[in-house]
């Protein structure tokens, strides 16, 4: 296990490598950062680190709010929030206003109607938005099965529903297969063969190709077509944890002394594909692509370091906590979490997502920024009353605000999230001059001087400050705040950003009320 690896203990961590220059020459001093450590209490995660640089954050990254097109329109109508990154998922035929092709295949990102696709992207560019797509390079569509139990014939016409569609031979299991898959399946597939059931109601299934195969060449070709149509990058690079492969055609696997071939994980094939995709977009669009990798942030940094950010939040899906094969008996707060779910889930985030876990898995302290999504309305075990409420959304938004995350409000009631994003936009959160003061740092401009489990973070933009006060506890609290004069010089105007209420200092202190699992956003002018 690691010591002093937490971002909260950064100053205690020794440098792994020092360059020492002296009269006799230059020497390199290496200090191992790993040491044996006995863990005396249950833990929710383990941690390992490979020395891999992260892609630098782009300028203005805090303004890269993301959403689907229909949510983007709703956010603008509701509170004027401008969505910067439009997220487009599913298939790419794009017949307006939406595809009537109910049986279009997934995990095969062909551009079927180039003119319509270009028109849609140009429309978003005219609004000042970036256009990002969904891809899952580790799954490829295996085909549409003939078995009637897996699809409804009325929804599928292989002659008209896909470009280059071909009827399979009579002895084939498939009604339709992509021509490339027909020809190269045996070369592309990883071994042992692994499949997935997405779209099974339409008869579809996917296989996992080995990324060390020539499938990577084909995938880069497909992405080149998207880039030529104006796509700005990838808003969701899905399922990017490494997989094991022992297909010798991919230079994968190793031969044991027992004569058996054993698999090895494809970390570096994945990293190489990311590098190639960046090169494709750089060549076609003249700039590096947006690239958000979807999984727990710190887990995949070595294989996804060419991505600029992490799209995460799936780890708060309650299904993982209900599954004994995923959530083991050593997990912290297990009984509290399960009891919360039995009670409808209002306390779930408190027990499952404490700040000390969130700050580690959010990725921001490790060089990435995070697009953090909610998972309430898709999570089993949460009551309808709670999952689709302002209270659950504000719980999630609070944790995002406290950890410098970008808010991606799906699978929740989004209005409160849109409002919080709008407040940050009006503050100028994407400005290059903005300074950030995390709650785990030494500089705390706005500090709670009473209460329990109260966290504060601050942003400075010129003479204006945005302070977020989060009540992480399960109790409503009256909080006294101190504005540190070392940072905030003579506050002239303090406003509660959501309500517009003017607040006043008393003896240098500010009193506010914060409900349980909720936040306040304060605008402070010097």
SS3 content of the chain, % helix, strand, coil (to 5): 30, 25, 50
Residue 10: phi, psi to the nearest 5? -55, -40
Quote the percentage of the chain above a pLDDT of 70.
82
Q: Categorize the per-residue pLDDT at 165 as very low, low, confident or very high, splitting at 50, 70 and 90.
A: very low
Average pLDDT score over residue span 24-41: 68
Contact 352, 378 (CB under 8 A): no
291-348 pLDDT per residue, tens: 999 876 556 777 888 899 989 898 888 988 877 666 666 567 888 999 999 999 999 9
Q: Which of 106-115, 132-141, 405-414 has maximum average pLDDT?
A: 405-414
pTM of the model: 0.85
Structure tokens at 280: 């494709």
* Better pLDDT: 364 or 487: 487
* H helix or E strand, kind and range, residue 410: none
* Better pLDDT: 31 or 57: 57
360-379 pLDDT per residue, tens: 778 676 678 899 999 999 99
Q: What pLDDT, on a 0 to 100 scale, did the predictor assign at position 97?
A: 43
First to last CA, the chain: 46
The class that CATH gives domain 435-525 is: mainly beta
| SS3 state at 441 | coil
Q: Categorize the per-residue pLDDT at 23 as very low, low, confident or very high, splitting at 50, 70 and 90.
A: confident
Q: Which of 112, 72, 114 shows the shortest CA–CA distance to 90?
A: 112
* H helix or E strand, kind and range, residue 172: none
Contact 175, 146 (CB under 8 A): yes
| pLDDT > 90? residue 147 | no
Can you tell me the distance from the alpha carbon of 302 to that of 55, in angstroms, rounded to the nearest whole number?
Answer: 11
C-alpha distances (whole Å) from 70 to each of 77, 261, 372 are 11, 49, 19
C-alpha distances (whole Å) from 89 to each of 4, 186, 424 are 40, 28, 26
Average pLDDT score over residue span 425-448: 96
Contact 264, 321 (CB under 8 A): no
* Better pLDDT: 149 or 427: 427
Q: What pLDDT, on a 0 to 100 scale, did the predictor assign at position 166?
A: 47
Can you tell me the distance from the alpha carbon of 463 to that of 288, in angstroms, rounded to the nearest whole number?
Answer: 33
C-alpha distances (whole Å) from 281 to each of 217, 224, 226, 284, 478 are 14, 7, 9, 5, 51
Average pLDDT score over residue span 173-183: 85
65-81 pLDDT per residue, tens: 999 988 999 999 999 99
- Hey, where are the domains in the chain? 1-40, 435-525
Average pLDDT score over residue span 23-37: 71
Q: What pLDDT, on a 0 to 100 scale, did the predictor assign at position 4?
A: 59
């Amino acid at each position: 296990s690691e010591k002093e690896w937490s971002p909260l203990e950064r100053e205690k961590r020794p440098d792994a490598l020092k360059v020492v220059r002296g009269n006799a020459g230059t020497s390199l001093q290496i200090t191992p950062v790993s040491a044996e450590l006995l863990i005396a209490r249950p833990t929710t995660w383990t941690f390992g680190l490979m020395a891999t640089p992260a892609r630098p954050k782009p300028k203005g990254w805090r303004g890269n709010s993301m959403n689907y097109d229909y949510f983007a329109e709703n956010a603008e109508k509701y509170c004027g929030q401008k969505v910067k990154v439009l997220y487009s998922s599913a298939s790419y035929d794009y017949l307006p206003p939406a595809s009537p092709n109910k049986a279009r295949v997934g995990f095969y990102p062909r551009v079927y109607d180039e003119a319509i696709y270009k028109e849609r992207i140009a429309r978003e560019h005219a609004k000042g938005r970036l256009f990002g797509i969904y891809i899952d390079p580790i799954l490829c569509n295996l085909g549409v099965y003939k078995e009637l139990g897996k699809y409804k014939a009325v929804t599928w016409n292989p002659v008209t529903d896909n470009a280059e569609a071909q009827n399979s031979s009579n002895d084939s299991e498939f009604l339709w297969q992509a021509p490339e898959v027909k020809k190269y399946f045996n070369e592309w597939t990883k071994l042992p063969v692994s499949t997935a059931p997405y779209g099974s109601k339409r008869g579809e299934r996917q296989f996992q190709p080995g990324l060390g195969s020539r499938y990577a060449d084909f995938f880069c070709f497909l992405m080149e077509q998207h880039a030529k149509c104006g796509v700005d990058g990838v808003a969701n690079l899905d399922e990017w944890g490494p997989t094991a492969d022992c297909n010798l055609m991919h230079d994968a696997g190793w031969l044991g002394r027992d004569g058996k071939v054993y698999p090895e994980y494809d970390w570096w094939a994945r990293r190489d594909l990311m590098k190639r995709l960046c090169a494709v977009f750089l060549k076609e669009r003249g700039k590096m692509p947006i690239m958000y990798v979807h999984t727990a942030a710190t887990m995949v940094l070595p294989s996804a370091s060419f991505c600029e950010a992490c799209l995460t939040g799936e780890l708060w899906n309650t299904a993982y906590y209900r599954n004994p094969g995923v959530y083991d008996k050593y997990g912290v707060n297990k009984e509290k979490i399960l009891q919360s779910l039995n009670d409808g889930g209002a306390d779930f985030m408190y027990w499952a997502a404490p700040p000390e876990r969130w700050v580690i898995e959010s990725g921001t302290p490790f060089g990435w920024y995070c697009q953090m999504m909610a998972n309430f309305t898709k999570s089993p075990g949460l009551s309808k009353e709670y999952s689709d409420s302002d209270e659950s959304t504000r719980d999630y938004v609070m944790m995002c605000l406290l950890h410098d995350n970008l808010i991606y409000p799906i699978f929740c009631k989004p209005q409160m999230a849109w409002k919080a994003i709008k407040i940050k936009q009006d503050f100028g959160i994407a400005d290059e001059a903005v300074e950030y003061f995390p709650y785990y740092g030494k500089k705390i401009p706005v500090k709670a001087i009473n209460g329990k489990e109260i966290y504060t973070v601050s942003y400075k933009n010129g003479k204006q400050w945005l302070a977020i006060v989060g009540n992480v506890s399960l109790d409503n609290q009256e909080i006294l705040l101190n504005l540190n004069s070392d940072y905030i010089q003579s506050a002239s105007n303090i406003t509660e950003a959501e309500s517009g209420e003017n607040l006043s200092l008393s003896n240098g202190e500010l009193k506010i009320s914060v409900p349980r699992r909720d936040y306040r956003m304060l605008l402070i002018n010097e």
